Amino acid sequence: MQETGNKDLREYLDYLKSHPEEMQNIVTALTIKVSNFFRNPLVFELLSSHILPDLINDFRFINAWSIGCANGEEPYSLAIILKDLQKKENNPVTVRIHGTDIDSRAIENAMKGVYPGSELEDVKKKYMDTFFENIPKPYDELTEFEHIFRIKDEIKEMVNLECDDIIARLKTKISRHNHFNLIFCSNMLIYLNRPLQEEILNMLTEMLYETGYLIIGASETLPETVRQHFDQPFAGVKIYRKKSQSQQSLD
């Protein structure tokens, strides 16, 4: 309201109605885009050592979705691990990685794939050397330059990025036409009320292939109505594997 000179919420609502361009500004202000490459190191270590090899063995393809992908750090981290596995094993497995976020500006940043060195401190050196280009950029005329890194095209090409709203997808049922064997839904559910969390998680469960994986944030939990459809293969880690129909029948 300060930015737009409105004295109360009603006046700001009227302003929004008459200035549709302001909607993107409020979305940008209200959404939280705290992320970085390999944000949860243990999760990505388990992806590299266990989860992705299992999925490749079971499915012969990877179809992954990163929900609330911010500036692209999460889907690009996944793409880096998969590219590394492909090179090690000379395995041409089909890979599709989808990254979506409600903030169009974040998606624009993700498509550029350019990041300051300060945001890449947790990236292993072998990944930095192989999958990033160093593009020194003048900070200004008086100070030293900072290092800027661009992710290489071989990684960018593995990720499809789109501005999208998970709640809109839920209402229109669009996502029910897609199926994935790996879904990241990390640190997004905590901003929603419990009934909506449950509705979204039920939708994601439907979209997940049997024996596919769902990854949520460390501070998030699955409601029991959803939890019954999953095993938790790694104790204490919020990684869940969808049970097969035969497992659920036995339960």
| CB contact at 8 A, 68 and 185 | yes
Segment among 20-24, 47-51, 123-127, 180-184 with least mean pLDDT: 20-24
Question: What pLDDT, on the 0 to 100 scale, is given for residue 136?
Answer: 72
Q: What is residue 71's three-state secondary structure? A: coil
CA distance 102 to 67: 9
Q: Which residue has the higher pLDDT, 87 or 109?
A: 109
Query: Domain residues of the chain, as ranges?
Result: 26-111+154-250
Residue 241, Cα to own-chain centre: how many angstroms? 18
User: CB burial class (10 A; 0-12, 13-18, 19+) of residue 93?
Assistant: middle
- On the question of pLDDT at 109 being above 60, the answer is yes
- On the question of pLDDT at 62 being above 70, the answer is yes
Could you tell me which CATH number the domain at 26-111+154-250 has?
3.40.50.150
Which residues have a Cβ under 8 Å from the Cβ of 36 and sit 6 or more positions away? 73, 119, 120, 122
CA distance 233 to 231: 6
Q: Which H helix or E strand runs over 46?
A: helix 41-46
Q: What is the pLDDT of residues 69-103, one digit of tens each?
A: 999 999 999 999 999 998 887 777 899 999 999 88
pTM for the full predicted model? 0.82
Query: Band of the pLDDT at 167, cuts 50, 70, 90?
Result: confident
Query: Band of the pLDDT at 249, cuts 50, 70, 90?
Result: low
- On the question of pLDDT at 175 being above 60, the answer is no
> Helices 9-18 & 22-30, crossing angle to 10 degrees?
130
For 133, half-sphere exposure in the C-beta direction (CA atoms, 13 angstrom radius) is: 12
Q: Which residue has the higher pLDDT, 240 or 135?
A: 240
| Segment 15-36 mean pLDDT | 77
Q: Which H helix or E strand runs over 241?
A: strand 239-242
Query: Band of the pLDDT at 171, cuts 50, 70, 90?
Result: low
Question: What pLDDT, on the 0 to 100 scale, is given for residue 133?
Answer: 94
Question: What pLDDT, on the 0 to 100 scale, is given for residue 166?
Answer: 82
Q: Which residue has the higher pLDDT, 59 or 248?
A: 59
Average pLDDT, the chain: 88
Q: What is the pLDDT of residues 219-228, one digit of tens each?
A: 899 999 999 9
Query: Band of the pLDDT at 165, cuts 50, 70, 90?
Result: confident
CA distance 101 to 9: 26
| Segment 180-202 mean pLDDT | 91
Q: What is the pLDDT of residues 126-147, one digit of tens each?
A: 999 999 999 876 555 545 556 8
